[in-house]
Structure 1
Amino acid sequence: MKTLIFTLFLIFALNTKIPSATAEFVTDTDDRLLINGGTYYILPSFRGMGGGLGLTTTGTETCPLTVAQDPNEASHGLPVRIASPYLINNIYEGLILDLSFTATPSCVPEPSRWTIAKEMPRGWSVKVAGYEGAMNGWFTIQRYRDDYKLMFCPRDSPSCSNLGIYMGEDGNRRLVVNEGNPMAVMFKKVDTSAI
């Protein structure tokens, strides 16, 4: 039994990406360390660039399955649980993460984990789990100038891709794989007593 557990540990360790020893902790808007499994609003770092991240409908969706930026600058968007499968207290840059909304419309599948799926005409968009054609992988947070950026790391690729905003003809500000222009973000701790 011990041999089986050790073998599974080795397989997991050799097939996952962990941050380097120089990775720094990620902090929120109050300069506190992000808590593994904590709930935060993901907001743009620059004013005048819209509000926080939430859900919208695109294409033929009858339920909001697409992660998008609220056009209202005063909106915090929806609360996002930021969690790593590693048994650690705080979030580091480059750490493997699951992102999921904690408050969603009843039509959204549970859990509402984020994923990447092909969406025409733009390409790869961030969707909630349950969307057909989803790509396997995980999310991560990296330093970007004086702030942070979100990235998606496909399971079968050695590199990760930036996430940025794409303004569609429908007016939706979708979160998409966008190498050239990542969205600079910050994390505001959700006051759970207010929910």
Structure 2
Amino acid sequence: MTPFLPPAIAITILLLLQLVPLPTLAVSMPSTAYIRDEDGEPLLNGGTYYIIPQRTNGGGLTVAQKAQTTPCPLFIAQEKDGSSNGHAFKITSPISSKYLPFGPTEFYLTKVTTTCTKPLAWRLITDNATGHIYVAAGTTQSLGPTAFSITGPFFYVQPFEYQIFYCDNVLCKLAGLYENGLLGMNHDVNLAYRFRKAFTHTSQVM
């Protein structure tokens, strides 16, 4: 039996859970319709943030090279150093809003010098050897729709922690880490993430 719901139903349930209080469920519910950083402040739509996996031995998400013969694409992975913030990512929503709402979300690499295809948005690619689906940037390959989404996790977490998921035409899957440290659609690992500012309020231009 598949552990996933059809995309349309799953997205509807996830978004409703952000807005409707359900005290009988052990779900981390936000106090508003905006995603918040680790300080409890709403994320700026188009702001730059470090993405920090919680309760792991590593640091924030960063850019890494997978064993390959070409420099592209750029894979998203976790820093091995637990004290490192990792790489900053620009996080945006197509919804017109100053702050980042729940719903379709795009993640972009910032301040990267590369010859890879731009814009450096997160995309999903399949490793034909293992069948793993990885998150990468700088590629023209993509599996289905391009937008990810952010939701409150369906298990006990600390405040301001979220999960990142992706729905194709068949299934909705959560973003997790594989044994090689690369980020992908690994639903066997229920990872929660926090968002940490990679800017000062005076330097961020909206």
TM-score range, shorter chain: 0.7 to 0.9
Q: Which residue of 2 aligns with 1:100?
A: 108
Does the 8 Å contact 1:152/1:162 carry over to 2? yes
Does the 8 Å contact 1:117/1:131 carry over to 2? no
Does the 8 Å contact 2:92/2:105 carry over to 1? yes
1:22-44 per-residue CA deviation (whole Å, 9 max, x = no partner) reads 17321101110011111100012
Length-normalised TM-score, structure 2: 0.74
Tell me by how many angstroms 1:85 deviates. 0.8
> Could you tell me which of 42, 47, 57 is aligned with 1:49?
57
Q: Distance in 2 between matches of 1:105 and 1:148?
A: 29
Q: Which residue of 2 aligns with 1:109?
A: 117
Can you give the 5+ residue segments of structure 1 that lack an aligned partner in the other structure?
1-13
Letter of the 1:22 counterpart: L
Can you give the 5+ residue segments of structure 2 that lack an aligned partner in the other structure?
1-7, 21-32
Q: Which residue of 2 aligns with 1:59?
A: 67
Tell me by how many angstroms 1:74 deviates. 1.4
Tell me by how many angstroms 1:49 deviates. 2.1
Which range moves more in the overlay, 140-149 or 20-29? 20-29
Q: Which residue of 1 aligns with 2:150?
A: 141
Q: Which residue of 2 aligns with 1:166?
A: 178
Q: Distance in 2 between matches of 1:122 and 1:71?
A: 24
The CA RMSD over aligned residues, in Å, is 2.3
Q: Which residue of 2 aligns with 1:178?
A: 186
Misfit runs of 4+, over 4 Å? none
Letter of the 1:185 counterpart: Y
Letter of the 1:67 counterpart: I
Letter of the 2:114 counterpart: S
Q: Distance in 2 between matches of 1:124 and 1:131?
A: 15
Tell me by how many angstroms 1:68 deviates. 0.5
Give the length in aligned residue pairs: 170
> Could you tell me which of 19, 32, 40 is aligned with 1:22?
19
Tell me by how many angstroms 1:61 deviates. 4.4
Q: Which has the higher contact order (CA 8 A, sep 6+)?
A: 2
Length-normalised TM-score, structure 1: 0.77
Q: Which residue of 2 aligns with 1:121?
A: 130
Which range moves more in the overlay, 32-41 or 84-93? 84-93
Q: Judging changes above 3 Å, is the alpha-carbon distance between structure 1 residues 181 and 29 closer, same or farther for their aligned structure 2 residues? A: same
Q: Distance in 1 between matches of 2:83 and 2:71?
A: 24
Whether 2:77 is the aligned partner of 1:80: answer no
Does the 8 Å contact 1:39/1:80 carry over to 2? yes
> Could you tell me which of 21, 38, 41 is aligned with 2:47?
38
Q: Which structure dedicates a bigger proportion of its chain to strand?
A: 1
Q: Distance in 2 between matches of 1:53 and 1:80?
A: 9
Tell me by how many angstroms 1:88 deviates. 1.4
